[in-house]
C-alpha cells in the first residue's frame, strides 16, 4: 500500500513500573514502544491506511526494535533515519485511586533530539503523501527539532498537503531548554488544516484572553478559543479536543468537541470509562480516529464520533498503541455490546 499519510516525531521507549507500583518499588520495569506521532501512525495503519513514519532512531538494537514494532503493525519505516546516539525514554508510574500517574522524561541528547533539521529531505520524504501529522512534542525537544517540524509543515503546505497538528503541550520539555512555545508553534499551527487542541493549547500560542472568562463552561471556552485561532490562522479549518472529567484514576468520563471555520460546534456527550487499564495514548487515539474519518470522506460529526469512540477504547488497551480495528470502533459508535465475542 502506498503511504498516503506521514507522521513525523520521536519513537520512545516507555519503562513502566509493573501494575500500580511506584517506580522501582520492585526491581523491574515493563517496556513498551510509544511516542505521540507513532501512536497515531499505528492506529491509522490498523484502520487500513497507508502510513509512513519519519524521524530518527538510535543506530542500535533498541532503535531497531522500535522500528520493527511499528512495522509489525503495518507502518512503513523505510524512511526512518538511524544515527549514533541513544533512544529517548520515559518512565511511568501508573496511579491508583486518588494517586495520579507520573511521567518522568529522559529524552535529552537522544538521536532524534540531536538530529539536524537539514538531515531531512522533506520534498523527497513527503513525495506522494496527502497528509502530514506532527505534534507539539517535537518542537518542545529543542531548537533542531523545532526547525525540522517547521520545515516539514512548510514543505507540506507548499505541496498542497493536508497538515494536522496536535498541541500536546509538555511544559517540562519546553522548560528544559528555555524554549519559546508561542513563537515556535505559531508557524506550525498556522500551516495546519486541523488542530487537536483545547482552549489551553490555543492560549499557549496566542496568549491568554484579555477578558475574564468567568464561569464559562469548557465548551464555551473552547468555542471562544477556536474563534481566536480561526481569526489568527486562515488555513485552519477544524479544531477538535476531548473533554475529560475524573472521579478517580480508574474512573473517568470522556466527551469530545469539534469547532469548524464555518461556525459549527459538534459535540459528543460524555461516556463513562470505569476500570481504566491504560490512559496513555488516549489523545493520540482520538486524533487518529478523527483523521480516519476525514481521510475517508466522512462528515465532521461522524469523524468526531469515531475519534471519540477510538479514544474510549484505548483506555482498555495496555501500552501506548491503540490496537483496536475500525470494526471495533464502529461497534462502539453504534452502541456497543459487552457480550463475549464468539
pLDDT, mean of residues 219-243: 96
Which residues are paired to 89 by β-bridges?
13, 106
Name every residue whose Cβ is closer than 8 Å to that of residue 208 and which is 6 or more positions away in sequence.
none
Going from N- to C-terminal start, the domains of the chain cover: 237-334
Per the CB < 8 A criterion, the answer to whether 275 and 251 are in contact is yes
Per residue in 63-86, pLDDT tens?
Answer: 999 999 999 999 999 999 999 999
Q: How confident is the model at residue 285 (pLDDT cuts 50, 70, 90)?
A: very high
**pLDDT above 60 (res 22):** yes
Q: From CA 95, how far away is CA 130, in angstroms rounded?
A: 39
What's 198-248 look like in SS3? Answer: CHHHHHHHHCCCCCCCCCCCHHHHHHHHHHHHHHHCCCCCEEEEEEEEEEE
**pLDDT above 70 (res 286):** yes
Q: Is 1 or 66 the better-scoring residue by pLDDT?
A: 66
**pLDDT above 80 (res 197):** yes
pLDDT, mean of residues 267-293: 96
Residue 339: predicted pLDDT: 63
Lowest-confidence segment of 18-22, 34-38, 332-336, 337-341 by average pLDDT: 337-341
Per the CB < 8 A criterion, the answer to whether 17 and 93 are in contact is yes
Residue 107: predicted pLDDT: 94
Residue 340: predicted pLDDT: 58
**pLDDT above 70 (res 214):** no
Per residue in 141-162, pLDDT tens?
Answer: 999 999 999 999 999 999 999 9
Name every residue whose Cβ is closer than 8 Å to that of residue 104 and which is 6 or more positions away in sequence.
23, 90, 91, 92
Per residue in 288-317, pLDDT tens?
Answer: 999 999 999 999 999 999 999 999 999 999
**pLDDT above 90 (res 244):** yes
Q: From CA 302, how far away is CA 154, in angstroms rounded?
A: 29
Q: Which fold has domain 237-334?
A: 3.40.1190
Q: What's the whole-model pTM score?
A: 0.95
As a whole-number percent, the residues of the chain with pLDDT over 70 amount to: 96
How much is the mean pLDDT over the chain?
94
Q: What are 214's three cell numbers? A: 468567568
Unique residue bearing C-alpha cell 512548510: 154
pLDDT, mean of residues 264-287: 96
Per residue in 85-137, pLDDT tens?
Answer: 999 999 999 999 889 999 999 999 999 999 999 999 999 999 999 999 999 99
Per the CB < 8 A criterion, the answer to whether 294 and 304 are in contact is no
Amino acid at each position: 500500500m502506498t503511504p498516503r499519510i506521514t507522521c513525523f516525531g520521536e519513537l520512545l521507549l516507555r519503562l513502566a513500573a509493573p501494575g500500580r507500583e511506584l517506580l522501582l518499588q520492585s526491581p523491574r520495569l515493563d517496556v513498551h514502544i510509544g511516542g505521540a506521532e507513532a501512536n497515531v501512525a499505528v492506529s491509522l495503519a490498523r484502520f487500513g491506511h497507508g502510513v509512513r513514519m519519519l524521524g530518527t532512531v538510535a543506530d542500535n538494537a533498541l532503535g531497531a526494535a522500535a522500528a520493527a514494532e511499528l512495522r509489525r503493525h503495518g507502518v512503513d519505516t523505510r524512511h526512518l533515519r538511524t544515527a549514533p546516539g541513544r533512544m529517548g525514554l520515559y518512565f511511568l508510574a501508573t496511579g491508583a485511586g486518588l494517586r495520579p500517574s507520573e511521567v518522568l522524561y529522559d529524552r535529552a541528547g537522544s538521536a532524534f533530539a540531536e538530529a539536524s533539521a537539514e538531515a531531512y529531505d522533506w520534498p523527497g520524504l513527503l513525495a506522494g503523501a496527502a497528509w502530514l501529522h506532527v505534534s507539539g512534542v517535537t518542537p518542545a525537544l529543542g531548537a533542531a527539532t523545532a526547525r525540522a517540524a517547521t520545515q516539514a509543515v512548510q514543505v507540506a503546505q507548499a505541496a498542497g498537503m493536508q497538515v494536522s497538528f496536535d498541541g500536546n503541550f509538555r511544559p517540562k520539555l519546553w522548560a528544559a531548554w528555555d524554549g519559546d512555545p508561542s513563537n515556535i508553534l505559531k508557524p506550525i499551527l498556522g500551516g495546519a488544516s486541523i488542530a487537536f487542541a483545547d482552549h489551553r493549547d490555543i492560549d499557549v500560542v496566542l496568549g491568554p484572553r484579555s477578558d475574564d472568562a468567568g464561569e464559562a463552561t469548557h465548551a464555551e471556552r473552547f468555542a471562544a478559543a477556536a474563534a481566536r485561532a480561526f481569526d489568527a490562522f486562515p488555513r485552519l479549518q477544524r479544531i477538535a479536543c476531548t473533554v475529560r472529567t475524573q472521579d478517580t484514576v480508574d474512573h473517568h468520563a470522556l466527551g469530545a468537541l469539534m469547532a469548524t471555520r464555518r461556525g459549527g460546534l459538534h459535540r459528543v456527550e460524555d461516556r463513562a470509562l470505569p476500570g481504566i487499564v491504560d490512559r496513555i495514548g488516549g489523545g493520540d487515539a482520538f486524533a487518529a480516529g478523527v483523521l480516519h474519518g476525514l481521510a475517508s470522506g466522512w462528515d465532521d460529526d461522524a469523524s468526531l464520533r469515531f475519534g471519540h469512540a477510538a479514544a474510549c477504547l484505548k483506555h482498555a488497551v495496555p501500552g501506548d498503541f491503540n490496537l483496536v480495528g475500525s470494526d471495533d470502533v464502529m461497534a462502539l459508535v453504534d452502541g456497543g455490546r459487552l457480550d463475549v465475542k464468539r
